[in-house]
Amino acid sequence: MKRVALAAVLGLAACSQQPADAPPAATPTPATTASASPAVAAVGDDHAVPKPGDPKTFRDWTVACDNVARCAMASLGTDADFPAVTLQVARAAGPDGLVEVALAMPQGDNGAPATLRIDGRAFAVSGDGLSGASAEAIARALANATTIEALDKKGKRLGTISAAGASAGLRYIDAQQGRAGTVTALVARGDKPAATVLAARAAPRVRAVAFAGTPAALSPGLLAGMRRTAECDPSFSGPEPRAHGLADGATLVLLPCSAGAYNEIDALFIVRDGKATPARVDAPAGFEETGADSQTPVHSVINGDVDGGVLRSYAKGRGLGDCGVMQSFVWDGTQLRLTEQRSMGECRGNPDYLPVWQARVVRE
């Protein structure tokens, strides 16, 4: 299957293609967060301005770290191979950060992996994934791997995973978490003690107002005004707007505004006392443009859905869903706040999106 790169319009940082054994261009530091203006900070919040991590690609592996310096890397299909099996390696930040390993079968259930064979060396694996010493042993083997195979419990090969770029991805994680030169590093190992590794950062707290109560009635005139404000496509006749009551008396409205082949763009409004105003959002979602030249009149989400007090957005890079951006937001009484973002910037057969931002939700 032809390799397809995810368009920059999704808001993902461009991936940097590097040789498999190349170190990062510069030694990065763990992601940091900046304070927002006190004028918009909710009481009891840390209110960090969301700065999702930028995924990087090293040949057939993509890697990302979030704002608490948890890092994960995922295998990708090659030009000639749409992957039957994919592998993810993740590691928490801090001196005692555990390694986690998980295998998946993106093309369906053709058997469950029971063994991962790296350069002829067999490692037992589990459908629920591995963590701790057994996962770390696999990660260290990947650092010098040339062949990676997944086998079922009878020893039948289920698929292969490219080793190209795995070492560079692990080296990047070592650098991003401040492990280079320490005994905890997976590739860039040295003699420095674990105590010298940078500590994990705490996730920012986000106050959340519950989705509860009766939503406001949406009159034809109110909806027509919202469509004008959002500059909706006049030829688009999508599904009905979805209104969700909030515990503070407001109503969140998801207004279908336009659509692509597999993405519906939903403009966001808050209705109070019969008046609709564009919803404030602390992070761009979906196809929104960013930067000083952005002229977005109303914020939007893609394929928006409300579930369990959370507004979710899922912008697909293509119909297969193997690339794009997934986001979750909560309402804090003033604006919608990003609580989680996952991304996959390479359309190469792996639907296992990597976390690039997280917050801790405090519900009222």
**CA-closest candidate to residue 76, choices 20, 126, 130, 123:** 20
- 26-31: average pLDDT: 36
> What is the pLDDT at residue 286?
67
In tens, the pLDDT along 231-240 reads 999 999 889 9
Distance, CA of 189 to CA of 95 (rounded, Å) = 14
- DSSP 8-state symbol, 138: H
Q: Give the relative orientation of helices 166-176 and 133-142 as an angle to the nearest 10 degrees.
A: 120
Return all residues near 206 (Cβ < 8 A) that are at least 6 apart: 42, 45, 46, 47, 330, 332, 337, 339, 359, 360, 361, 362
Distance, CA of 170 to CA of 87 (rounded, Å) = 13
Q: Across the strands, what pairs with 281?
A: 336
Distance, CA of 140 to CA of 138 (rounded, Å) = 5
Question: Under a CB-based contact definition with an 8 Å cutoff, are residues 48 and 67 in contact?
Answer: yes
Distance, CA of 198 to CA of 196 (rounded, Å) = 6
CB neighbour class for 226 (10 Å; exposed up to 12, middle 13-18, buried from 19):
buried
pTM for this one? 0.85
User: Which of helix, strand or coil describes residue 289?
Assistant: coil
Distance, CA of 151 to CA of 136 (rounded, Å) = 19
- 231-255: average pLDDT: 94
Distance, CA of 311 to CA of 208 (rounded, Å) = 11
Q: What's the gap between Cα 216 and its chain centre?
A: 33
Element (H, E) at 139: helix 133-142
DSSP string, 230-275: HT--TT---SPPEEEE-TTS-EEEEEEEEE-SS-EEEEEEEEETTE
- 113-137: average pLDDT: 94
Distance, CA of 256 to CA of 267 (rounded, Å) = 6
> What is the pLDDT at residue 290?
53
In tens, the pLDDT along 67-100 reads 999 999 999 998 766 899 999 999 999 999 999 9
Residue 260: pLDDT band with limits 50, 70, 90 = confident
